[in-house]
Amino acid sequence: MIEKRSAAQDPSEILATGLAALEQLLGHGWKVTQLTNERSSLPSAVFDARVQITPPDSSPYTELLVEVPNKPLSPRDVLNKTVPMITVLRQAQSRVALLVIAPWLSPRTQEVLREHDIAYLDLTGNVSLAITYPAIRFHTQGASRAPSKESSTRNVTLAGPRAGRIVRFLADYLPPYRASEIVTQANVSAPWVSRLLGQLEDQLLIQREGRDIVEVRWPELLRARADAYTLLRPGNHEQMVAPSGAVAVLDRLRNVPPPLSGNSNIAVTGSYAARTIAPRTVGGQLMLYVDHLPHSIDEWQEQLGLIRVDEHADVLLLRAPDTAVFDRYRIVDGVAQVGYSQLVLDCLAGTGRMPAEGETILAVLADDESWRLRLNR
């Protein structure tokens, strides 16, 4: 198992640490040796090292080319630099393999590397390596979020309410559109929108032609956003029991005006909302977003006839982190539910079976994108 280390910045240290981690993963008797050009059978190219992997019985062995990026590697870097390099090498020698070693690789970067059959190892424990001779196959997961030393110089992330508004706009609306339209619709400053869109473009989550956003990989975008936050955090929800059951709570909600109608907002999310899209999902607590106001929880507890408990809750009242969670709500069987993209985000960032439910909803929505909207100009 790879030891979790803080990100090293010197390329030679990153290389040495990564090769030591690889040898540790391979186990007793395996050797990972850095080669000089004269000792290697691989063709010359622009890369950082050649290594030989030798099993305990000394034969057969294999050689790898190693790339150690001098800055955080984005998916766009992989497509523009790494893939062309390995493509040329594979034309000269079909079995040549490339291993990328870095302090940390984002989930999206890992995905793009795997798509192009490029091995990787980062110092947090994310590893993907498959070799036929000798037989080696690893796929392990380390950190899904960047260590502090690897934080982006753009100083924007997919966490927080502003990012949530932008992500939901990109998922909910069919392109093309421009950054200026996102600024207006999401009510986020133009400089911040510009920086986040630049990052999303680097991650290959959006594609632009000139000033127009022409493509959004919205399933991957929602997964990336969900990785940046947790649905149920201490202090952001209250546990309740419904004496007459969750179905009775839903019955009471049918008499409540929809969100943003001048009344206090409330909307269903989580498993109960998921089953209206993917009926085979079962169980789970009834989760309700309410306004993030001082007395909203108390008011809704009284109105819905709920009792606070410390455990075994069947209803959760969640303080909405932003009014945008109610945007593009849906009325299902007379009850307000969060919009499709918000529901996916909440399930993916939830607990227990919820991430699996989120993936099921994603599959349903990807199969029929009629739910996505066209921007009224």
- Judged against a pLDDT cut of 90, whether residue 260 lies above it is answered with no
Classify each residue of 129-143 as buried b or exposed e, where b means 16 or more C-beta atoms within 10 Å of its C-beta. bebeebebeeeeebb
Supply the pLDDT for residue 150: 53
Cα 267 to its chain centre, rounded Å, is: 24
Q: Nearest 5°: phi and psi at 77? A: -60, -40
Separation in Å, CA 49 to CA 24, 54, 98, 120, 288: 19, 16, 10, 14, 54
Handedness of CA 199, 204, 209, 212 (dihedral sign): negative
- For the cut 60, the answer to whether the pLDDT of residue 288 exceeds it is yes
pLDDT tens digits along 212-228: 999 999 999 999 999 98
Assess contact for 221 and 106: CB atoms under 8 A.
Answer: no
CATH fold for domain 152-226: Arc Repressor Mutant, subunit A (1.10.10)
The per-residue pLDDT for 263 is 60
Residue of higher predicted confidence among 279 and 335: 335
CA 326/CA 296 separation, integer angstroms: 15
Tens-place pLDDT, residues 121-151:
999 999 999 888 788 888 999 988 777 655 5
Residue 22 makes CB contacts below 8 A (sequence gap 6+) with 32, 53, 99, 121, 127, 129
Residues 343-354 have a mean pLDDT of: 94
Q: Across residues 23-49, what is the average pLDDT?
A: 74
Please report the beta strands in 206-364, taking only residues with DSSP state E, as ranges in sequence order: 206-209, 212-216, 237-241, 266-269, 286-290, 307-308, 315-319, 330-332, 335-337
Dihedral sign from CA coordinates of 177, 179, 182, 184: negative
Which are the contacts of 263, defined by CB distance < 8 A and separation ≥ 6? 256, 257
Name beta bridge partners: 122: 102
From the list 183, 177, 184, the residue with the least C-alpha distance to 196 is: 183
pLDDT average, residue stretch 246-259: 89
Residue 338's pLDDT band (cuts 50, 70, 90)? very high
CA distances from residue 250 to 305, 335, 344, 375 in whole angstroms, order as listed: 12, 7, 21, 32
The Cα 283–Cα 353 span in angstroms is 9
Helix, strand, or coil (residue 2): coil
User: What gap in Å lies between CA 273 and CA 156, rounded to an integer?
Assistant: 31
DSSP 138-181: EEE---SS--GGG--TT---S-SHHHHHHHHHHHHBPSPEEHHH
Q: What percent of the chain has a predicted confidence (pLDDT) above 70? A: 90
Quote the percentage of the chain above a pLDDT of 90.
59
Which of 281, 285, 328, 280 is CA-nearest to residue 309?
Answer: 285
According to DSSP, the β-strands at 315-319 and 286-290 are: parallel
Instruction: Please state the rounded mean pLDDT for residues 201-213.
Output: 93
Residue-level pLDDT at 4: 46
For 49, 138, 355, the CA distances from 125, given in Å and listed in that order, are 20, 11, 22
